[in-house]
Amino acid sequence: MNDSNINTIFIATRHDSHGKYVLEGLSKNKNIFTEKPLCIHREELEEIRKVYSTVQSKLMVGFNRRFAPMSTQLKLKLNYAIPSAIMMRINAGVVAKDHWIHDPKVGGGRIVGEVCHFIDYASFLTQSKISLVSATSMNDASVLEDTLSITLKMENGSIATIAYFSNGNKEVNKEYIELYNGGLIAKIDDFKELSISDSKGTKKITGNQDKGHKLELEAFIQALKDGKPSPISFDELYNSTLATFAVLESISQNGKNISLNQL
């Protein structure tokens, strides 16, 4: 943090320290790439927003699925003049109750720690900010809130459903996404296969699984070299993170609709 020869910091620590290090780095005019989540508390998010508005540093969160090759190919086929409807099914699998990610003080739970990926991805695919959130979790003995359903509404009228289930098994691929857009239906199966169907038929693209980890880093570093804005704007990072906290709020209120404009 104090080395003047270093202008960029990568944060890959446990979740509870992300917000602290982001704030410290920004205050010292460092560019920052942090793994998700950006932070685990709403108060930290608002402090980051306040500090970020006073600096010229670039801030990036590791929402890698935006940069997956199949995401890029899909975006070229979508008509953003009309809203989309999205369904995501995440076969998340079991994480032991005593794992650090479930500790509210260290990991923040799996909603903050991983579901944020899919909330952000829904916003990315629709190219619109999230405006309304509702969510409900399944009752279980562990009370971990890691089997849940989420409904998102976007400012442009798009909708998305995220089914994040921890009670399955590894015989089925982890991530399955369907997107409907003005007669076009796209399916992404675990970022190994993309199929796009329209009135002309179905085209399939297959390959090795690539969720965009390498490409997101390349995009961030290139933005630094070229003096261009961060590949993900702060407004998008803020909106996705706020929507993640809104999921927790909705679950605590038995599935109540939470308007981000009122948080």
Indicate the length of the chain as a whole number.
Answer: 263
Amino acid (one-letter) located at 3:
D
Q: Summarize the confidence of residues 148-160 as an average pLDDT.
A: 98
Q: What is the pLDDT of residue 138?
A: 95
Torsions phi, psi of 15, nearest 5?
-60, -35
Examine the pLDDT at 141 and tell me if it is beyond 80. no
β-pairing verdict for 85-91 and 159-165: parallel
According to CATH, the superfamily of the domain at 64-214+242-262 is Dihydrodipicolinate Reductase; domain 2 (3.30.360.10)
Q: What is the pLDDT of residue 56?
A: 95
Averaged confidence pLDDT in the chain: 97
Q: Summarize the confidence of residues 96-110 as an average pLDDT.
A: 95
Interatomic CA distance for residues 185 and 197, integer angstroms = 5
Torsions phi, psi of 101, nearest 5?
-65, -25
Q: Summarize the confidence of residues 31-49 as an average pLDDT.
A: 98
Q: Summarize the confidence of residues 7-23 as an average pLDDT.
A: 98
| pTM tops 0.85, yes or no | yes
Q: How far apart are the first and last CA of the chain?
A: 32
Q: What is the pLDDT of residue 39?
A: 98
Q: What is the pLDDT of residue 143?
A: 78
Q: Summarize the confidence of residues 60-83 as an average pLDDT.
A: 97
Interatomic CA distance for residues 57 and 94, integer angstroms = 38
